[in-house]
Amino acid sequence: MYTREQASQLRQSFWTTFGNYIAPHPAAEGLRVNWINYKTGIKDVYFRMRADKREASIAIELTHPDAEIQEMFYEQFLELKNYLHDTLGEEWEWELHSSDEFGKTISRIYKELKPVNVFNKDDWPALISFFKPRIIALDEFWSDAKYSFESLR
């Protein structure tokens, strides 16, 4: 087992390693992008990558506090589902109104990788290989799809 500080340092080390690995790759629009803290430009729409001692996930998270507005965003993504899956090259899981770790209602479109452990450096190549093509594909998708969400801003 790791102390809280050791676990934090290992997590930070992984994300720094991943960030350095993906940094040379430009965004779909040719600009530099912070891949780890990706900004969609739309409030309450996030692209999130997570890794812990059991699994890793990459997700589009919709966190608007109004459940009806959150559902409108979700339905807009549903309209683009085929385009999203074509761009990703795979199908993802879809969840309307689930709860996050804090009990907050969110909606998610996500892909998981199990079993992996971010604290095991031997798993880092698998984690990087999982995250890199998917966040790049999400960026490619978003460079076209974000305009569909303008009316919901």
What pLDDT digit, counting tens, does each position of 10-19 carry?
A: 999 999 999 9
Q: Give the pLDDT of residue 93.
A: 98
pLDDT tier at 126, thresholds 50, 70, 90: very high
- Domain coverage including residue 65: 4-152
- The rounded percent of the chain whose pLDDT value lies above 70 is 99
Alpha carbon distance 126, 2 (integer Å): 21
**What is the length of the chain?**
153
- Domains: count for the chain: 1
CA atoms within 13 A on the CB side of 29: 10
Tokens of residue 116, six digits: 């992996």
pTM of the model: 0.93
- DSSP code of 131? H
Alpha carbon distance 56, 10 (integer Å): 15
